[in-house]
Structure 1
């Protein structure tokens, strides 16, 4: 039995008593299984996507099969995929609130996405030009970057670090050609990125911390850094229950572990954007807007997906919480009117193409029926690239490996 099948087997065994709950209305799941013991060594490639998934995606593209072929064509048509792509590194990336000032913020995010895009193109085509372009982009930044500054520095580091860690992981573990400056790139992630994100975001809105942990766990796997991996998981475990509400939490949402000062009803209601009634699947940023909420949900999923590839079943720990979160928001995105007690009866839609990976796990791996999430997922295919997530229809659609 391969390593990939072990977490699935554990999940199926631990949930066999409640097997009937695997086929339930969208957003419903099973009780969380106990955490699994961690393996002694990391599996590579294993940041967000593993070799079996990459091989399946490649097979689908070469066969012209949907939805991967359309997703691949969309990726190839993007500006991120051009061999003429030119990185724009700088020593200090300064990002204020809403990326104002924007001194290298968009450039860094775009370059990180481009590096990951070229790494994926390399794997599917086996054309070394794409591997070399990914390396060129990563080398350009590792040659000069010294720091991220201003108020958005932790979030900016998370956005870019998530994509750079995925790109580096694919090239390091699937490309046999030279990468002379790989050590310099590793030092950049270790010394410039990781210190900015590893301690979490405190009482910032939850999408910050989840995005930061998305980058942190990717960097940890890429660097084979077990303490950093464990730390990212610990912070994730303390944030997800403070980001997605379940009635089992009690009358009020939990405070995130890095923001324990929110301990009165008034403080919690204010932190949850003024929402004072709580329903399964409501997120801390729902009444802010669905765009930021989508970022938080998908970043939480990215951490669980990377952990899954490393033999840690975070998905099982938050099964109902996470599927409820997606159901709550995709239901509203697909036409259900908001109730009057939700955000004053008005919500700001725009969740984004953020459901491919979570649907693949809970439906294609575990067999849960999530029709609302599926309907929404299919409406967003092929998923593109934005800030810190890219090409997830290509890598994860109908891909339970």
Structure 2
């Protein structure tokens, strides 16, 4: 598994161009009343998914069957909670990191199966896993603690929202909410400006989902505020100027620093990501986290998609173009790339193409050729099932 590390930015005293940091726009207020379930998937989306699966329609039925065939769907799964999850660089040490992420994904998987089948055993197993962790975990430590917390913290509220609001009988739901508020939220809610962008985008996705579940308007607004400055600093548009925007508070101010931060890429085009020339896998994590964020906000009545649609359509189009086989030009990442975008396009493609009607030929080709999109075993799971052609 690839593990992200913070970018060490070397200040160049020789650089002559200073680029002002992005200003922080005010956050639109959280909704007067939160919508549940409303983290990544809504009740109308779940109903659409359920109807398609039960009708045997494709690609939802094959996506559902693939999900059911994984260990995440097992009714005999034993949770492996730890009081302290310690995650170092490159998962060394890995003390509960994989276990936590996979238990959170299992809880989400089981909640989706519950919704489709109405078989209470799956809801009860999801509850059992969530209860085991909420009774045990107290902290995340070591250098990858923020990212680990964000990944697990993105999956937990998806599962919790479905179970709490569609299944009757979760006595420890409040304890789980307390876990999210006291163990997860403090680790991630302030972001991390000088990291690679996928870190902070995941660190905003998780607080937004947690804020919805615990109905915390201040936490919601804080996540939106940081997201609104990070997204323009992660995906470039030519309208930004000759150089990309920079994350406020990062200390990345000069041309030399920006090029270093963008992994030595000095030619900027619409849709280029801060991590494109690192690799497409990490770029995919950032794109997916941004899509998840916008989708959750949409369920809460806020049009983040309208704010980021141009960055997202260009980012998806650029990266899927090369994933689909187009040769990489010499000016881009030295003319080489890795084909590791992964199961990251369904939510963005559905929002932009299905709902907004934006033509996305490259993204469509990639998405359809990679169905059913499964899980990356980190924080992305079953998005062909939940979002393919989903109009809700």
Length-normalised TM-score, structure 1:
0.90
Q: In the comparison of the two structures, how many residue pairs are matched? A: 366
1:46 aligns with 2:63: no
The aligned residue for residue 128 of structure 1 is: 120
The aligned residue for residue 57 of structure 2 is: 65
1:95–1:304 distance in 2 versus 1, CA, 3 Å: same
**Inter-partner Cα distance in structure 2 for 1:166 and 1:314:** 19
Work out which of the residue numbers 239, 242, 246 in structure 1 matches 2:233. Answer: 242
1:214 aligns with 2:205: yes
Work out which of the residue numbers 174, 177, 186 in structure 2 matches 1:195. Answer: 186
Structure-to-structure mapping, 1:30-41, within 5 angstroms: 39-41=31-33
The aligned residue for residue 14 of structure 2 is: none
1:323 aligns with 2:295: no
Work out which of the residue numbers 77, 80, 92 in structure 2 matches 1:88. Answer: 80
Work out which of the residue numbers 183, 187, 193 in structure 1 matches 2:174. Answer: 183
1:163 aligns with 2:162: no
The aligned residue for residue 361 of structure 1 is: 351
1:148 partner SS:
strand
1:389 partner SS:
coil
Mind listing any 5+ residue stretches in structure 1 that lack a counterpart?
1-33
1:146 aligns with 2:164: no
1:186–1:36 distance in 2 versus 1, CA, 3 Å: closer
Report if aligned partners of 1:239, 1:258 keep a CA contact under 8 Å in 2.
Answer: no
Report if aligned partners of 2:30, 2:220 keep a CA contact under 8 Å in 1.
Answer: no
1:388 aligns with 2:342: no
Q: Deviations over 1:58-90 (max 9, x none)?
A: 000000000110000001000000101111001
1:384 partner SS:
coil
The aligned residue for residue 399 of structure 1 is: 390
Measured after TM superposition, the shift of residue 141 of structure 1 is 0.4
**Inter-partner Cα distance in structure 1 for 2:212 and 2:31:** 12
Measured after TM superposition, the shift of residue 258 of structure 1 is 4.2
**Inter-partner Cα distance in structure 1 for 2:179 and 2:27:** 32
2:140 partner SS:
strand
The aligned residue for residue 102 of structure 1 is: 94
1:246–1:111 distance in 2 versus 1, CA, 3 Å: same
The aligned residue for residue 24 of structure 1 is: none
2:85 partner SS:
strand
The aligned residue for residue 268 of structure 1 is: 258
Measured after TM superposition, the shift of residue 39 of structure 1 is 3.1
The aligned residue for residue 21 of structure 1 is: none
**Inter-partner Cα distance in structure 2 for 1:268 and 1:44:** 40
The aligned residue for residue 113 of structure 1 is: 105
Measured after TM superposition, the shift of residue 37 of structure 1 is 6.6
1:105–1:38 distance in 2 versus 1, CA, 3 Å: closer
**Inter-partner Cα distance in structure 2 for 1:265 and 1:94:** 36
Measured after TM superposition, the shift of residue 35 of structure 1 is 8.7
Taking only aligned residues, the RMSD between alpha carbons, in angstroms, comes to 1.2
1:390 partner SS:
coil
1:276 partner SS:
coil
1:399–1:35 distance in 2 versus 1, CA, 3 Å: farther
1:286 aligns with 2:283: no
1:76 aligns with 2:68: yes
1:94 partner SS:
strand
Measured after TM superposition, the shift of residue 400 of structure 1 is 1.5
**Inter-partner Cα distance in structure 1 for 2:138 and 2:27:** 37
Length-normalised TM-score, structure 2:
0.92
Measured after TM superposition, the shift of residue 332 of structure 1 is 0.5
Q: Deviations over 1:146-165 (max 9, x none)?
A: 10000000000000010001
**Inter-partner Cα distance in structure 1 for 2:290 and 2:248:** 15
**Inter-partner Cα distance in structure 2 for 1:169 and 1:288:** 35
Report if aligned partners of 1:288, 1:348 keep a CA contact under 8 Å in 2.
Answer: no
Q: Deviating runs (4+, > 2 A) in structure 1?
A: 34-39
